[in-house]
Amino acid sequence: MILKVCGMADPENISGLTHINEVDWMGMIFYPPSGRYVPNFGQEPTFYKQLSIPKVGVFVNENTDEILKKVTDYGLSMVQLHGDESPELLKAIREKSNVKLIKVFRVGADWNWQTLEPYEALVDYFLFDTDGPSYGGTGHQFNWELLNNYPFKTSFLLSGGIAPEDTESLKNCFQKFPAMVGIDINSKFEISKGIKDLEKIKLFTAAIKDDVVSKKN
């Protein structure tokens, strides 16, 4: 099981997160309107680059050159595309970099799995979040039962309003959905935007990882 903690930005908080061994990936947001926009926290990219934890850069409708610059400057291992990016943009990143790609889709009531088809051969993972009026997270969950009809082989992560009390529901999801390999947590574990409650994360990881068979890729 992959545990990704997203929206990390504060250097001291990040240093604490890196000591929680059960956390696999750290998400960093490079979308200027976000309150978790990494450059606003005043630390040079070299601080983030030297961290050993795999770093996922989150972008929204950014151009290829800027994405690749952030990959180099911050030492990103993965790029997560959270906007309306075209398959052509993913192809361009593939051609110019060896980072892994995560494409986010926001799931709503009128969800159609065919939306994913043009991206399936281009991504390493899909990530499913809750649909909302903006590109940022909503803090709410979509109907996870929709994942029963997931028709692809590509592994995916679940996101959207995941909270500390959701451990049992998440364990059930791992049992029911073979392609589900991880979860992405953010706002429900925050003290303030960009700063996580590390004790909450420790308790959550201990509760869920003890009972979920490892499905890391």
Instruction: Determine contact, residues 189/197, Cβ cutoff 8 Å.
Output: yes
Answer for the pair 186, 5: CB distance below 8 angstroms, yes or no.
Answer: yes
Q: State the total domains in the chain.
A: 1
The answer to whether 142 and 160 are in contact (CB under 8 A) is yes
pLDDT tens digits along 152-208 = 999 999 999 999 999 999 999 999 999 999 999 999 999 999 999 999 999 999 999
What DSSP state is assigned to residue 50? T
Residue 217, pLDDT > 50, answer no
49 lies in some domain:
yes
Please indicate, yes or no, if residue 214 is contained in any of the structural domains.
no
Q: What is the mean pLDDT of residues 115-125?
A: 97
CA–CA dist 90, 99 (Å, integer): 11
Q: Phi and psi at residue 147, in whole multiples of 5°?
A: -70, -15
For the residues of 166-196, what is the DSSP string, one character each? GHHHHHHHHHH-TTEEEEEE-GGGEEETTEE
The model's pLDDT over 4-61, given as tens digits with 9 standing for 90+, comes to: 999 999 999 999 999 999 999 999 999 999 999 999 999 999 999 999 999 999 999 9
- CATH number, position 103: 3.20.20.70
The reported pLDDT for the residue numbered 209 is: 76
Which helix (H) or strand (E) is 100 found in, with range? strand 100-107
Q: Stretch 69-83: mean pLDDT, rounded? A: 98
- In this structure, are residues 23 and 3 in contact, taking their beta carbons and an 8 Å threshold? yes
The token pair that represents 118 in the structure block: 């043009």
216 in a domain, yes or no? no
Give the least confident one: 13-17, 73-77, 116-120, 132-136: 132-136
**By residue range, what is the domain housing residue 130?**
2-209
Kindly state whether residue 153 falls inside one of the protein's structural domains: yes
**Residue 217 included in any domain:** no
Beta carbons within 8 Å of 105's beta carbon, 6+ residues apart: 115, 116, 126, 127, 128, 129
